[in-house]
Amino acid sequence: MIKGIIFDFDGTIIDTETAWYTAFSEAYEEHGVELTLEQYSTCIGTSLNTFNPYEYLMTDLKLPIDKEDFKRAVQQRHSKLMELETIRPGIQYYLDSAKEVGLRMGLASSSSMEWVEKYLDQLGIRHYFECIRTSDHVENVKPDPELYNQALTCLGIMPDEAVAIEDSPNGSKAAAAAGMNCVVIPNNITSFLEFEPSHHIIESLSHLDFDHVLTRRCFQKTG
């Protein structure tokens, strides 16, 4: 049996990714440019990428756009879209179930602490997490395993005693690099991306029995 669960945040606990893609896509369309999912996906789950959606129109396409105005408009649109988002299916059940059996719970996010705390407080779930590690705590974010390594140390458990819950390829790669089993629950955006076959990939945590994760049964290969 496992001793702890470490959750990703963006796209995993609450689907911030779909709102970001929508906000950026609409902003790009206003300037006659299509933002493809393939292009945008390189920046999902990490801050390390060659594609910066805030700057691409100005730096690569040389469009005469005020960067601060553009950034402000995208963020305002994202905030408006996020008013419609709630905690993803199955997450609350897993938080309650893990707490009931005494699992250690942590959170590892490539976003900033300010960003994570904002939505944890909004959802009323911050108290579930003994340890929160964000981009403010590490030199390298996902897919580097540093966030997970720090969270494991903070919780006092070994990689093979914990399970990561992720939604993106970068996040699942980070968990695997830290030596952890990983349950992947893609959202509307990341469901189109490719994941390593070694992970347990499922549409929603509500479709995965908590006991199967607790006993690691979902990671056992059959056939």
Q: Where is the domain boundary, 30, 56, 82?
A: 82
Residue 178 sits in the same domain as residue 117? yes
**Local structure of 134: helix, strand or coil:** coil
Asked if 205 and 90 touch (Cβ cutoff 8 Å), the reply is yes
Q: How much is the pTM?
A: 0.87
What type of residue is 212? H
Our answer to whether residue 10 is catalytic in this structure is yes
* pLDDT given for residue 223 in this prediction: 45
- Ordered mean pLDDT values, 10 residues apiece, the chain (223 residues): 96 92 96 91 68 91 94 95 92 98 97 95 96 97 96 98 95 96 92 84 94 90 53
* pLDDT given for residue 38 in this prediction: 84
Asked if 44 and 19 touch (Cβ cutoff 8 Å), the reply is no
Choosing from 8, 15, 144, 167, the catalytic residue is 8
Q: Where is the domain boundary, 47, 66, 82?
A: 82
Residue 77 sits in the same domain as residue 126? no
Residue 115 sits in the same domain as residue 163? yes
